[in-house]
Amino acid sequence: MTVPSLIQPLKLRDVEFPNRIVLSPMQMYAAQADGKMTDWHMVHYGKYAYAKFGTIFTEILCVEKRGRSTYADAGIWNDNHIKKLQKIASFIRSQGSVPAAQIGHCGPKSARQRPYDGLQPLKNRNNDIEPAWEIISCSGVAAAPGYDTPTPLTNANVKLLIKKFGNAARRCHLAGFDVLDVHAAHGYLIHSFLSPLSNFRADQYGGTQFNRNRFAIEIAQEIRKYWPENKPLFFRLSCIDRFPGGLKLEDTIELAKDLKKAGVDLIDCSSGGIKGPNSLFSLASQKPPTPGFQVPFAEQIKQKANIATMAVGMISEPQHANRVIESDQADLVALGREALMNPNWPLHAMRELTEDKNFDSWPPNSGWWLEVRQRMLNSSDPNDWKVGLAAKNTPGAN
Ligand SMILES: Cc1cc2nc3c(=O)[nH]c(=O)nc-3n(C[C@H](O)[C@H](O)[C@H](O)COP(=O)(O)O)c2cc1C
């Protein structure tokens, strides 16, 4: 039987991805106020490693304290963050998955409440326990109505921030991550430079598309000074803005070509986030997102910029995910909320796609028991329930 595309390995630079299934970066709002992860995160990521997600991304690790979206965001702005991340990365690797980190800066969307507390800007919330802080962006324009007005970065501070991305990459390498993804989407800091709807600068970082892309390109170049040559670098982009005058797919294809020249290996294809929440909330399109709604971006960028891509967004069916890879629309498929719903998703997908009736693709600590239980469920004859290898391997025992 041929191995289904979704569970075939992939190699980018020197990193071998055991399959194409990726845990998408997801903020869990569970970090300490100093940005450190805890044992909670070890358990959280650990369960996905047990379930054979081929690649496991951390949530966005903020490159500076000001760049957190909430007080519970995780950080990489300090060498003290490395130790816990090292343990997490090491456990992920021990289970055969690729440990991967996402770094970024929330820019004009920093300093807010946690989603389930209302997502409102901390400013004017009159909260002594979690007071607001000054937020920064490309220009002095609020991310959307109701958001706090950011301070535009001076030219000198733009250069300082680029350095912070390089330093964050160095720390991620020290922590033992093998893949790095730069969050340049969803209306966060880098996206605020890329989009003509949020970039009103008059210096070399504003105006033409070339200038608007400069911040992202210089970040990629800076990261490459610290991120080893043999490790792949991903960039998450909002491929379209979904607003008139905003970024179109053609703009993103051009950016992807330039990012590739700067040392980027894969474009992680998301969308939206300028002038409001990202496309998951679909306020801009007024239509609920449909399964695989961002896959066409991954396909077009892969073909036209000749770079690997990752598809994400409302992908939940194994057959669908497999088709995305099989039909060469993307090289990797990332799962966000479906992974929250079903952390064992890859194990179920492997059974479904390979018709693995005996749970052979599962770790034996659970697979062995489930196989025996299944025989009991399927047969009333106690001879069929015999445990042990012989029984399991008996043809037709199932
Ligand atoms: C709880 C939650 C937190 C998220 N945090 C991040 C994040 O830290 N970085 C990021 O790039 N995207 C983040 N996203 C977006 C997801 O990575 C993913 O792109 C999105 O949920 C669409 O995929 P899905 O339909 O499979 O959930 C988050 C999404 C959710 C649901």
By residue count, the chain amounts to 398
Ligand 1, atom nearest to 60 Cα: 8
Structure tokens belonging to residue 266: 């894969």
To test the ligand 1 pocket, which listed residue (21, 27, 181, 269) has its Cβ within 8 A of the most ligand atoms? 27
Ligand 1, atom nearest to 316 Cα: 26
Name the CATH superfamily, with its identifier, for domain 5-355: Aldolase class I (3.20.20.70)
Distance 377 CA to ligand 1 centre (A): 37
Distance 336 CA to ligand 1 centre (A): 5
Residues of the chain with pLDDT below 70 are 124-126, 277-286, 388-398
Distance between CA 83 and CA 218 in Å, rounded?
Answer: 28
Ligand 1, atom nearest to 181 Cα: 11
Distance 108 CA to ligand 1 centre (A): 18
Structure tokens belonging to residue 77: 């702005």
Distance between CA 11 and CA 28 in Å, rounded?
Answer: 29
Distance 28 CA to ligand 1 centre (A): 10
Q: Using a 6 Å cutoff on CB, does residue 367 contact ligand 1?
A: no
Distance 321 CA to ligand 1 centre (A): 17
Q: Using a 6 Å cutoff on CB, does residue 26 contact ligand 1?
A: yes
The protein residue whose alpha carbon is closest to atom 26 in ligand 1 is 336
Residue 181 contacts residue 57 (beta carbons within 8 Å): yes
What's residue 388's pLDDT?
Answer: 61
Instruction: Name the catalytic one among 45, 50, 188, 205.
Output: 188
Q: Are strands 15-17 and 10-12 parallel, antiparallel or unpaired?
A: antiparallel
pTM over 0.75: yes
Place of tokens 């911040």: 215
Structure tokens belonging to residue 111: 């300093």
Q: Using a 6 Å cutoff on CB, does residue 291 contact ligand 1?
A: no
Distance 313 CA to ligand 1 centre (A): 8
The protein residue whose alpha carbon is closest to atom 31 in ligand 1 is 337
Contacts of 301 (CB under 8 A, 6+ apart): 239, 249, 252, 253, 256, 267, 269, 307, 309
What's residue 76's pLDDT?
Answer: 98
Respond yes or no: is residue 188 known to be catalytic. yes
Distance 228 CA to ligand 1 centre (A): 27
Q: Using a 6 Å cutoff on CB, does residue 236 contact ligand 1?
A: yes
Task: Please name the amino acid found at residue 336.
Answer: G
The percent helix, strand, coil of the chain (3-state, each to 5) is 40, 15, 45
Domain boundaries, the chain: 5-355, 358-398
Distance between CA 83 and CA 171 in Å, rounded?
Answer: 10
Q: Using a 6 Å cutoff on CB, does residue 233 contact ligand 1?
A: no
To test the ligand 1 pocket, which listed residue (21, 22, 24) has its Cβ within 8 A of the most ligand atoms? 24
pLDDT tens digit string along 272-325? 999 876 666 655 556 788 999 999 999 999 999 999 999 999 999 999 999 999
To test the ligand 1 pocket, which listed residue (44, 280, 290) has its Cβ within 8 A of the most ligand atoms? 280
The protein residue whose alpha carbon is closest to atom 4 in ligand 1 is 26
Q: Using a 6 Å cutoff on CB, does residue 258 contact ligand 1?
A: no
Element (H, E) at 311: strand 308-312
Give bridge partners of residue 75 from the DSSP assignment.
62
Q: Using a 6 Å cutoff on CB, does residue 338 contact ligand 1?
A: yes
Distance between CA 131 and CA 33 in Å, rounded?
Answer: 12
